[in-house]
Amino acid sequence: MKGAVAAGSGLTAEAGAWALRAGGNAVDAAIAATLMAGVAEPLLTGIGGAGLATIRFGGEVYTCDFFSNMPGTADPAAEPASMDSVSINYGPTTQGFLVGPGSAAVPGVPAGLSALSDRFGVLPMETLVQPAIQAAVDGAEVTPGFERVCELLWPILARSDKLRLLFAPNGERLRAGDTFYCPELARTLEAFGDDPHYFKTGGGARALVSHLDGQTLISAQDLEQQEAQIRRAIPVKYRDATVWVPGAPSAAGVGIAHTLAALEASTPDAEPTGLSIIRRLEEALSATVNLRGKPFLRDLFTEGFEASFVARVQAMRNPGGRASPGHTTHISTVDQSGNAVSITHSLGETSGETAGDTGVIINNFLGEFDVNPPFLRRPAGSRLITMCCPSIIELGDGRVVALGSGGSSRIPTAVLHGAIYMIDHGWSVSQAVRGPRTHVEDGKLHVESDGRTDATMQRLTAESPKFIRFDGPNMFFGGLHAVSVGSDGFAGHGDARRSGAFVEA
Protein backbone atom coordinates (compact mmCIF):
# COMPACT_ATOMS: atom_id res chain seq x y z
CA MET A 1 0.00 0.00 0.00
CA LYS A 2 1.18 3.51 -0.85
CA GLY A 3 -1.26 5.63 1.18
CA ALA A 4 -4.88 6.46 1.91
CA VAL A 5 -7.45 9.21 1.37
CA ALA A 6 -10.69 10.22 3.08
CA ALA A 7 -12.89 12.83 1.44
CA GLY A 8 -16.41 14.05 0.78
CA SER A 9 -17.15 11.74 -2.16
CA GLY A 10 -15.93 8.49 -3.65
CA LEU A 11 -14.65 10.23 -6.77
CA THR A 12 -12.72 12.77 -4.69
CA ALA A 13 -11.07 10.08 -2.58
CA GLU A 14 -10.32 7.91 -5.62
CA ALA A 15 -8.58 10.83 -7.39
CA GLY A 16 -6.23 11.17 -4.42
CA ALA A 17 -5.58 7.41 -4.41
CA TRP A 18 -4.88 7.58 -8.16
CA ALA A 19 -2.13 10.15 -7.51
CA LEU A 20 -0.58 7.88 -4.87
CA ARG A 21 -0.60 4.92 -7.25
CA ALA A 22 1.01 7.11 -9.92
CA GLY A 23 4.01 7.67 -7.65
CA GLY A 24 2.85 10.80 -5.87
CA ASN A 25 2.99 11.55 -2.17
CA ALA A 26 0.31 12.69 0.29
CA VAL A 27 0.55 16.26 -1.01
CA ASP A 28 0.04 15.19 -4.62
CA ALA A 29 -2.94 13.13 -3.46
CA ALA A 30 -4.44 16.15 -1.70
CA ILE A 31 -4.01 18.30 -4.83
CA ALA A 32 -5.57 15.74 -7.18
CA ALA A 33 -8.44 15.18 -4.73
CA THR A 34 -9.03 18.92 -4.35
CA LEU A 35 -9.23 19.37 -8.12
CA MET A 36 -11.67 16.46 -8.35
CA ALA A 37 -13.78 17.87 -5.51
CA GLY A 38 -14.48 20.87 -7.72
CA VAL A 39 -16.20 18.45 -10.11
CA ALA A 40 -17.68 15.86 -7.72
CA GLU A 41 -18.62 18.40 -5.00
CA PRO A 42 -18.97 21.55 -7.15
CA LEU A 43 -21.22 23.53 -4.79
CA LEU A 44 -18.86 23.03 -1.86
CA THR A 45 -15.50 23.85 -3.37
CA GLY A 46 -13.59 24.63 -6.54
CA ILE A 47 -11.08 26.88 -8.24
CA GLY A 48 -13.22 29.91 -7.32
CA GLY A 49 -12.93 29.19 -3.58
CA ALA A 50 -10.29 29.22 -0.87
CA GLY A 51 -9.09 27.34 2.20
CA LEU A 52 -6.28 26.12 4.43
CA ALA A 53 -4.08 23.03 4.64
CA THR A 54 -2.00 21.52 7.42
CA ILE A 55 0.89 19.41 6.14
CA ARG A 56 3.18 16.98 7.93
CA PHE A 57 6.19 16.50 5.67
CA GLY A 58 9.51 14.98 6.66
CA GLY A 59 8.48 15.11 10.32
CA GLU A 60 7.80 18.87 10.28
CA VAL A 61 4.29 20.36 10.35
CA TYR A 62 3.25 23.41 8.34
CA THR A 63 0.14 25.37 7.47
CA CYS A 64 -0.54 26.51 3.91
CA ASP A 65 -2.85 29.53 4.07
CA PHE A 66 -4.62 30.02 0.75
CA PHE A 67 -7.69 31.73 2.07
CA SER A 68 -9.28 34.68 0.26
CA ASN A 69 -8.08 38.25 0.37
CA MET A 70 -10.32 41.24 0.74
CA PRO A 71 -10.43 42.74 -2.78
CA GLY A 72 -9.97 46.38 -3.66
CA THR A 73 -6.20 46.88 -3.89
CA ALA A 74 -6.60 48.87 -7.12
CA ASP A 75 -8.80 51.39 -5.30
CA PRO A 76 -8.61 50.94 -1.50
CA ALA A 77 -11.01 53.83 -0.92
CA ALA A 78 -13.78 52.26 -2.98
CA GLU A 79 -16.91 51.13 -1.21
CA PRO A 80 -17.91 47.45 -1.51
CA ALA A 81 -20.20 46.69 -4.42
CA SER A 82 -23.85 46.02 -3.70
CA MET A 83 -25.00 42.51 -2.85
CA ASP A 84 -28.38 40.83 -2.93
CA SER A 85 -30.02 39.08 0.01
CA VAL A 86 -31.16 35.48 -0.41
CA SER A 87 -32.97 33.36 2.17
CA ILE A 88 -32.07 29.68 2.52
CA ASN A 89 -34.49 27.26 4.20
CA TYR A 90 -32.72 24.74 6.44
CA GLY A 91 -35.87 23.07 7.72
CA PRO A 92 -36.11 24.13 11.37
CA THR A 93 -34.64 27.54 10.55
CA THR A 94 -34.20 30.03 7.70
CA GLN A 95 -31.09 32.11 7.18
CA GLY A 96 -30.22 34.99 4.89
CA PHE A 97 -26.99 35.50 2.94
CA LEU A 98 -25.58 38.12 0.64
CA VAL A 99 -24.82 36.97 -2.90
CA GLY A 100 -24.21 38.36 -6.38
CA PRO A 101 -21.01 39.66 -8.01
CA GLY A 102 -20.31 42.06 -5.16
CA SER A 103 -20.10 39.21 -2.65
CA ALA A 104 -17.02 37.65 -4.26
CA ALA A 105 -13.64 37.71 -2.55
CA VAL A 106 -10.36 36.87 -4.28
CA PRO A 107 -10.13 33.10 -5.02
CA GLY A 108 -7.23 31.38 -3.27
CA VAL A 109 -7.37 27.73 -4.40
CA PRO A 110 -5.19 28.16 -7.53
CA ALA A 111 -2.40 29.86 -5.56
CA GLY A 112 -2.68 27.29 -2.78
CA LEU A 113 -2.44 24.24 -5.01
CA SER A 114 0.49 25.74 -6.88
CA ALA A 115 2.33 26.51 -3.64
CA LEU A 116 1.75 23.01 -2.26
CA SER A 117 2.94 21.44 -5.50
CA ASP A 118 6.06 23.62 -5.73
CA ARG A 119 7.09 23.09 -2.09
CA PHE A 120 6.17 19.46 -1.42
CA GLY A 121 4.87 17.73 -4.55
CA VAL A 122 6.42 15.11 -6.80
CA LEU A 123 4.02 14.89 -9.75
CA PRO A 124 3.52 17.84 -12.15
CA MET A 125 0.25 19.75 -12.06
CA GLU A 126 -0.51 18.77 -15.64
CA THR A 127 -0.68 15.17 -14.40
CA LEU A 128 -2.66 15.90 -11.24
CA VAL A 129 -5.48 17.64 -13.13
CA GLN A 130 -6.19 14.61 -15.33
CA PRO A 131 -8.75 12.75 -13.15
CA ALA A 132 -10.79 15.94 -12.66
CA ILE A 133 -10.67 16.75 -16.38
CA GLN A 134 -11.93 13.28 -17.26
CA ALA A 135 -14.73 13.46 -14.70
CA ALA A 136 -15.85 16.90 -15.90
CA VAL A 137 -16.20 15.51 -19.45
CA ASP A 138 -17.48 11.99 -18.69
CA GLY A 139 -19.66 13.10 -15.78
CA ALA A 140 -19.64 12.72 -12.00
CA GLU A 141 -22.36 10.81 -10.19
CA VAL A 142 -24.52 12.96 -7.93
CA THR A 143 -24.36 11.79 -4.30
CA PRO A 144 -27.10 12.32 -1.68
CA GLY A 145 -24.95 15.08 -0.19
CA PHE A 146 -24.61 16.76 -3.60
CA GLU A 147 -28.40 16.59 -4.04
CA ARG A 148 -29.04 18.08 -0.60
CA VAL A 149 -26.69 21.03 -1.14
CA CYS A 150 -28.17 21.67 -4.58
CA GLU A 151 -31.63 21.76 -3.01
CA LEU A 152 -30.55 24.12 -0.23
CA LEU A 153 -28.73 26.53 -2.53
CA TRP A 154 -31.30 26.51 -5.32
CA PRO A 155 -32.52 30.07 -4.52
CA ILE A 156 -28.95 31.21 -5.30
CA LEU A 157 -28.32 28.91 -8.27
CA ALA A 158 -31.63 29.81 -9.90
CA ARG A 159 -30.49 33.42 -10.26
CA SER A 160 -28.09 32.46 -13.05
CA ASP A 161 -28.95 30.96 -16.43
CA LYS A 162 -25.57 29.19 -16.51
CA LEU A 163 -25.96 27.66 -13.06
CA ARG A 164 -29.53 26.58 -13.76
CA LEU A 165 -28.31 24.81 -16.89
CA LEU A 166 -25.47 23.13 -14.94
CA PHE A 167 -27.56 21.91 -12.03
CA ALA A 168 -30.95 21.44 -13.71
CA PRO A 169 -29.93 20.49 -17.27
CA ASN A 170 -33.37 19.07 -18.15
CA GLY A 171 -35.38 21.57 -16.18
CA GLU A 172 -35.26 19.43 -13.02
CA ARG A 173 -32.67 19.77 -10.27
CA LEU A 174 -30.03 17.06 -10.19
CA ARG A 175 -30.79 14.24 -7.79
CA ALA A 176 -28.77 11.38 -6.32
CA GLY A 177 -27.86 8.93 -9.07
CA ASP A 178 -27.94 11.58 -11.81
CA THR A 179 -24.76 12.68 -13.59
CA PHE A 180 -23.17 16.12 -13.41
CA TYR A 181 -21.25 17.36 -16.47
CA CYS A 182 -19.11 20.47 -16.88
CA PRO A 183 -16.96 20.36 -20.07
CA GLU A 184 -16.14 24.08 -19.72
CA LEU A 185 -14.42 23.34 -16.42
CA ALA A 186 -12.44 20.53 -18.07
CA ARG A 187 -10.92 23.01 -20.53
CA THR A 188 -10.14 25.40 -17.68
CA LEU A 189 -8.42 22.71 -15.60
CA GLU A 190 -6.33 21.68 -18.58
CA ALA A 191 -5.20 25.28 -19.02
CA PHE A 192 -4.38 25.54 -15.30
CA GLY A 193 -2.35 22.34 -15.47
CA ASP A 194 -0.28 23.85 -18.28
CA ASP A 195 0.08 27.31 -16.73
CA PRO A 196 0.22 27.78 -12.93
CA HIS A 197 -0.40 31.51 -13.45
CA TYR A 198 -3.62 30.94 -15.38
CA PHE A 199 -5.70 32.44 -12.56
CA LYS A 200 -3.11 35.05 -11.61
CA THR A 201 -2.23 36.76 -14.89
CA GLY A 202 -3.52 34.37 -17.57
CA GLY A 203 -6.80 33.63 -19.28
CA GLY A 204 -8.60 32.51 -16.15
CA ALA A 205 -7.82 35.80 -14.41
CA ARG A 206 -8.99 37.80 -17.42
CA ALA A 207 -12.25 35.82 -17.61
CA LEU A 208 -12.99 36.42 -13.94
CA VAL A 209 -12.29 40.14 -14.05
CA SER A 210 -14.21 40.57 -17.31
CA HIS A 211 -17.27 38.78 -15.93
CA LEU A 212 -17.30 40.84 -12.72
CA ASP A 213 -16.34 44.14 -14.35
CA GLY A 214 -18.08 47.10 -12.74
CA GLN A 215 -19.94 44.92 -10.22
CA THR A 216 -17.20 44.11 -7.72
CA LEU A 217 -14.05 45.35 -6.01
CA ILE A 218 -12.02 42.51 -7.57
CA SER A 219 -9.42 43.73 -10.05
CA ALA A 220 -6.59 42.17 -12.05
CA GLN A 221 -4.26 43.56 -9.38
CA ASP A 222 -6.08 41.60 -6.65
CA LEU A 223 -5.66 38.34 -8.56
CA GLU A 224 -2.01 39.03 -9.28
CA GLN A 225 -1.26 39.77 -5.61
CA GLN A 226 -3.08 36.73 -4.16
CA GLU A 227 -0.38 34.47 -2.71
CA ALA A 228 -0.41 31.37 -0.56
CA GLN A 229 1.63 31.54 2.64
CA ILE A 230 3.39 28.52 4.14
CA ARG A 231 4.45 28.70 7.80
CA ARG A 232 4.74 26.50 10.87
CA ALA A 233 1.50 25.09 12.26
CA ILE A 234 0.62 25.57 15.94
CA PRO A 235 1.31 22.60 18.26
CA VAL A 236 -1.25 22.04 21.01
CA LYS A 237 -0.34 19.50 23.70
CA TYR A 238 -3.24 17.37 24.91
CA ARG A 239 -2.49 14.51 27.31
CA ASP A 240 0.12 12.33 25.55
CA ALA A 241 -0.63 13.67 22.04
CA THR A 242 0.11 16.76 19.98
CA VAL A 243 -2.68 18.35 17.96
CA TRP A 244 -1.38 20.61 15.16
CA VAL A 245 -3.78 23.39 14.13
CA PRO A 246 -3.57 26.43 11.82
CA GLY A 247 -3.21 29.97 13.08
CA ALA A 248 -4.66 33.13 11.49
CA PRO A 249 -6.74 33.54 9.41
CA SER A 250 -8.37 30.53 11.11
CA ALA A 251 -10.38 31.53 14.17
CA ALA A 252 -10.89 27.86 14.98
CA GLY A 253 -7.31 26.70 15.63
CA VAL A 254 -6.69 28.69 18.81
CA GLY A 255 -10.31 27.99 19.80
CA ILE A 256 -9.55 24.26 19.76
CA ALA A 257 -6.48 24.91 21.89
CA HIS A 258 -8.70 26.70 24.42
CA THR A 259 -11.29 23.90 24.52
CA LEU A 260 -8.72 21.10 24.85
CA ALA A 261 -7.04 22.92 27.73
CA ALA A 262 -10.38 23.22 29.52
CA LEU A 263 -11.10 19.51 29.00
CA GLU A 264 -7.66 18.40 30.16
CA ALA A 265 -8.24 20.04 33.54
CA SER A 266 -10.08 16.82 34.49
CA THR A 267 -9.58 13.15 33.77
CA PRO A 268 -11.30 11.54 30.76
CA ASP A 269 -14.89 10.46 31.27
CA ALA A 270 -15.39 6.74 31.82
CA GLU A 271 -18.29 6.78 29.35
CA PRO A 272 -17.22 8.58 26.12
CA THR A 273 -20.81 9.16 24.96
CA GLY A 274 -22.55 9.68 28.29
CA LEU A 275 -24.18 12.66 29.96
CA SER A 276 -21.02 13.75 31.79
CA ILE A 277 -19.05 14.37 28.60
CA ILE A 278 -22.01 16.19 27.06
CA ARG A 279 -22.02 18.55 30.04
CA ARG A 280 -18.25 19.06 30.03
CA LEU A 281 -18.27 19.76 26.30
CA GLU A 282 -21.19 22.14 26.70
CA GLU A 283 -19.25 24.13 29.28
CA ALA A 284 -15.95 24.10 27.39
CA LEU A 285 -17.50 24.90 24.00
CA SER A 286 -19.59 27.72 25.47
CA ALA A 287 -16.45 29.33 26.86
CA THR A 288 -14.71 29.00 23.50
CA VAL A 289 -17.68 30.37 21.53
CA ASN A 290 -17.70 33.42 23.81
CA LEU A 291 -14.16 34.21 22.66
CA ARG A 292 -15.24 34.88 19.07
CA GLY A 293 -16.17 38.51 19.60
CA LYS A 294 -14.69 41.70 18.19
CA PRO A 295 -11.56 41.91 20.42
CA PHE A 296 -10.56 38.29 19.69
CA LEU A 297 -11.06 38.57 15.91
CA ARG A 298 -9.23 41.90 15.83
CA ASP A 299 -6.28 40.54 17.81
CA LEU A 300 -6.17 37.33 15.74
CA PHE A 301 -4.14 39.12 13.06
CA THR A 302 -1.78 40.84 15.53
CA GLU A 303 1.78 39.57 15.36
CA GLY A 304 2.56 37.25 18.25
CA PHE A 305 -1.06 36.88 19.36
CA GLU A 306 -1.37 33.17 18.50
CA ALA A 307 1.76 32.16 20.41
CA SER A 308 0.83 34.15 23.52
CA PHE A 309 -2.79 32.95 23.44
CA VAL A 310 -1.84 29.28 23.10
CA ALA A 311 0.78 29.67 25.85
CA ARG A 312 -1.90 31.09 28.17
CA VAL A 313 -4.43 28.35 27.47
CA GLN A 314 -1.82 25.59 27.72
CA ALA A 315 -1.18 26.82 31.26
CA MET A 316 -4.79 25.73 31.97
CA ARG A 317 -4.00 22.12 31.08
CA ASN A 318 -3.46 20.78 34.58
CA PRO A 319 -5.79 21.22 37.61
CA GLY A 320 -4.38 23.72 40.50
CA GLY A 321 -22.71 34.55 16.22
CA ARG A 322 -25.26 32.53 14.46
CA ALA A 323 -24.37 29.25 12.77
CA SER A 324 -23.84 29.50 9.06
CA PRO A 325 -24.64 26.37 7.05
CA GLY A 326 -21.08 25.48 6.29
CA HIS A 327 -20.94 24.61 2.59
CA THR A 328 -17.35 23.47 2.91
CA THR A 329 -15.53 20.21 2.24
CA HIS A 330 -12.45 18.48 3.57
CA ILE A 331 -9.82 15.98 2.36
CA SER A 332 -7.30 14.00 4.43
CA THR A 333 -4.36 12.08 2.93
CA VAL A 334 -1.40 10.06 4.21
CA ASP A 335 1.42 8.16 2.53
CA GLN A 336 3.81 5.34 3.39
CA SER A 337 6.55 7.81 4.37
CA GLY A 338 4.43 9.22 7.20
CA ASN A 339 3.57 12.41 5.35
CA ALA A 340 0.04 13.69 5.90
CA VAL A 341 -2.16 16.46 4.55
CA SER A 342 -5.36 17.85 6.01
CA ILE A 343 -6.96 20.35 3.61
CA THR A 344 -10.26 22.24 3.93
CA HIS A 345 -11.73 24.52 1.27
CA SER A 346 -15.00 26.22 0.41
CA LEU A 347 -17.06 28.41 -1.91
CA GLY A 348 -19.25 29.71 0.91
CA GLU A 349 -22.77 29.45 -0.47
CA THR A 350 -21.49 30.58 -3.92
CA SER A 351 -22.16 34.06 -5.25
CA GLY A 352 -24.51 32.64 -7.89
CA GLU A 353 -21.95 33.57 -10.55
CA THR A 354 -19.59 31.71 -12.89
CA ALA A 355 -16.49 33.26 -14.41
CA GLY A 356 -17.46 33.66 -18.05
CA ASP A 357 -17.12 30.40 -19.98
CA THR A 358 -14.58 28.83 -17.60
CA GLY A 359 -17.05 26.72 -15.63
CA VAL A 360 -15.55 28.20 -12.44
CA ILE A 361 -18.16 28.94 -9.74
CA ILE A 362 -17.29 32.03 -7.70
CA ASN A 363 -17.42 32.30 -3.90
CA ASN A 364 -19.54 34.71 -1.83
CA PHE A 365 -17.20 35.15 1.15
CA LEU A 366 -17.93 38.88 1.46
CA GLY A 367 -21.56 37.91 2.06
CA GLU A 368 -20.78 35.62 5.02
CA PHE A 369 -20.85 37.12 8.52
CA ASP A 370 -18.27 34.68 9.93
CA VAL A 371 -15.80 35.43 7.14
CA ASN A 372 -16.42 39.15 6.69
CA PRO A 373 -17.95 40.48 9.94
CA PRO A 374 -19.39 43.98 9.46
CA PHE A 375 -17.71 45.23 12.64
CA LEU A 376 -14.24 44.28 11.37
CA ARG A 377 -13.68 45.63 7.87
CA ARG A 378 -10.47 44.05 6.62
CA PRO A 379 -8.13 46.25 4.56
CA ALA A 380 -7.86 45.58 0.84
CA GLY A 381 -5.35 42.82 0.14
CA SER A 382 -5.55 41.32 3.64
CA ARG A 383 -6.92 37.92 4.59
CA LEU A 384 -10.52 37.40 5.54
CA ILE A 385 -11.43 35.20 8.54
CA THR A 386 -12.25 31.50 8.30
CA MET A 387 -13.43 28.68 10.53
CA CYS A 388 -11.47 26.15 8.44
CA CYS A 389 -9.30 24.08 10.77
CA PRO A 390 -7.45 21.27 8.97
CA SER A 391 -5.57 19.44 11.72
CA ILE A 392 -2.96 16.74 12.26
CA ILE A 393 -2.64 14.66 15.42
CA GLU A 394 0.53 12.88 16.50
CA LEU A 395 -0.75 10.23 18.90
CA GLY A 396 1.23 8.84 21.81
CA ASP A 397 1.52 5.44 20.10
CA GLY A 398 3.28 6.99 17.08
CA ARG A 399 0.32 7.11 14.70
CA VAL A 400 -0.21 10.24 12.62
CA VAL A 401 -3.80 11.26 11.91
CA ALA A 402 -4.96 13.85 9.36
CA LEU A 403 -8.48 15.07 10.03
CA GLY A 404 -10.77 18.00 9.41
CA SER A 405 -14.29 18.91 8.50
CA GLY A 406 -16.59 21.20 6.61
CA GLY A 407 -19.39 22.89 8.51
CA SER A 408 -18.46 26.48 9.42
CA SER A 409 -18.88 26.86 13.21
CA ARG A 410 -19.21 23.08 13.58
CA ILE A 411 -15.71 22.51 12.14
CA PRO A 412 -13.85 22.84 15.47
CA THR A 413 -16.55 20.77 17.17
CA ALA A 414 -16.04 17.91 14.71
CA VAL A 415 -12.24 18.05 15.03
CA LEU A 416 -12.48 18.16 18.83
CA HIS A 417 -14.66 15.08 18.95
CA GLY A 418 -12.26 13.18 16.70
CA ALA A 419 -9.32 14.13 18.92
CA ILE A 420 -11.09 13.32 22.19
CA TYR A 421 -12.40 9.96 21.02
CA MET A 422 -8.96 8.86 19.81
CA ILE A 423 -6.77 10.37 22.55
CA ASP A 424 -8.95 9.96 25.64
CA HIS A 425 -10.68 6.71 24.76
CA GLY A 426 -8.41 4.93 22.30
CA TRP A 427 -11.08 4.72 19.61
CA SER A 428 -10.09 3.83 16.06
CA VAL A 429 -10.26 6.47 13.35
CA SER A 430 -13.49 4.95 12.06
CA GLN A 431 -15.11 4.94 15.51
CA ALA A 432 -14.01 8.54 16.11
CA VAL A 433 -15.58 9.75 12.86
CA ARG A 434 -18.83 7.91 13.50
CA GLY A 435 -19.09 8.84 17.19
CA PRO A 436 -21.90 11.16 18.34
CA ARG A 437 -21.24 14.89 18.63
CA THR A 438 -22.29 17.78 20.81
CA HIS A 439 -22.33 21.40 19.66
CA VAL A 440 -23.14 24.76 21.24
CA GLU A 441 -24.35 27.67 19.12
CA ASP A 442 -26.19 30.84 20.20
CA GLY A 443 -26.39 29.40 23.70
CA LYS A 444 -28.28 26.35 22.45
CA LEU A 445 -27.13 22.77 22.99
CA HIS A 446 -27.24 20.48 19.92
CA VAL A 447 -26.81 16.73 20.54
CA GLU A 448 -26.69 13.67 18.28
CA SER A 449 -28.54 10.70 19.75
CA ASP A 450 -27.09 7.88 17.62
CA GLY A 451 -24.39 6.05 19.58
CA ARG A 452 -25.74 7.15 22.97
CA THR A 453 -27.82 5.04 25.34
CA ASP A 454 -31.53 5.63 25.84
CA ALA A 455 -30.79 6.35 29.51
CA THR A 456 -28.38 9.14 28.57
CA MET A 457 -30.89 10.78 26.24
CA GLN A 458 -33.70 10.46 28.78
CA ARG A 459 -31.62 12.09 31.51
CA LEU A 460 -30.57 14.88 29.13
CA THR A 461 -34.19 15.49 28.14
CA ALA A 462 -35.23 15.67 31.78
CA GLU A 463 -32.47 18.12 32.68
CA SER A 464 -32.44 20.22 29.48
CA PRO A 465 -35.81 19.90 27.74
CA LYS A 466 -34.97 22.66 25.26
CA PHE A 467 -31.85 21.03 23.81
CA ILE A 468 -31.94 20.33 20.06
CA ARG A 469 -31.88 16.60 19.30
CA PHE A 470 -30.63 15.06 16.05
CA ASP A 471 -31.51 11.46 15.17
CA GLY A 472 -29.52 9.86 12.35
CA PRO A 473 -26.54 11.28 10.43
CA ASN A 474 -27.00 15.00 9.75
CA MET A 475 -24.80 17.31 7.67
CA PHE A 476 -25.31 20.01 10.33
CA PHE A 477 -22.47 18.44 12.32
CA GLY A 478 -20.01 18.69 9.43
CA GLY A 479 -18.11 15.93 7.70
CA LEU A 480 -15.09 14.65 9.64
CA HIS A 481 -12.96 12.88 7.04
CA ALA A 482 -9.89 11.32 8.66
CA VAL A 483 -6.99 9.00 7.80
CA SER A 484 -4.05 7.65 9.78
CA VAL A 485 -0.68 6.05 9.17
CA GLY A 486 1.31 4.02 11.68
CA SER A 487 3.15 0.78 12.27
CA ASP A 488 -0.05 -1.16 11.54
CA GLY A 489 -0.53 0.54 8.16
CA PHE A 490 -3.34 2.84 7.08
CA ALA A 491 -6.82 3.43 8.46
CA GLY A 492 -9.51 5.99 7.79
CA HIS A 493 -13.14 6.89 7.39
CA GLY A 494 -15.24 9.27 5.30
CA ASP A 495 -18.09 10.80 7.30
CA ALA A 496 -21.54 9.56 6.25
CA ARG A 497 -22.97 12.86 7.46
CA ARG A 498 -21.60 14.36 4.24
CA SER A 499 -21.43 11.39 1.84
CA GLY A 500 -17.81 10.72 2.76
CA ALA A 501 -15.56 7.98 1.37
CA PHE A 502 -12.26 6.28 2.26
CA VAL A 503 -9.87 4.72 -0.26
CA GLU A 504 -6.52 2.98 0.18
CA ALA A 505 -3.95 3.05 -2.60
The catalytic position among 34, 216, 328, 333 is 328
20-52 burial code (b ≥16 CB/10 A, e <16): bebebbbbbbbbbbbbbbbbbbbbbbbbbbbbb
Q: Are 228 and 34 in contact, with CB atoms under 8 Å apart?
A: no
Amino acid type, 280: R
Q: Is 216 a catalytic residue?
A: no
* Residue type for position 304: G
Q: How many CA atoms lie within 13 A of 53 on its CB side?
A: 33
DSSP β-bridge partners for residue 179: 141
DSSP assignment of 377-408 equals PPPTTSB--B----EEEE-TTS-EEEEE--SG
Q: How many CA atoms lie within 13 A of 498 on its CB side?
A: 35
Helix axes 10-21, 130-138, angle to 10 degrees: 140
- Cβ pair 71, 380 in contact under 8 A: yes
Q: How far is CA 478 from CA 8, 403, 431, in A?
A: 10, 12, 16
14 three-class SS:
helix
Bridging pattern class, strands 84-89 and 94-99: antiparallel
Q: Torsions phi, psi of 148, nearest 5?
A: -65, -45
- For the annotated catalytic residues, the residue numbers are 328
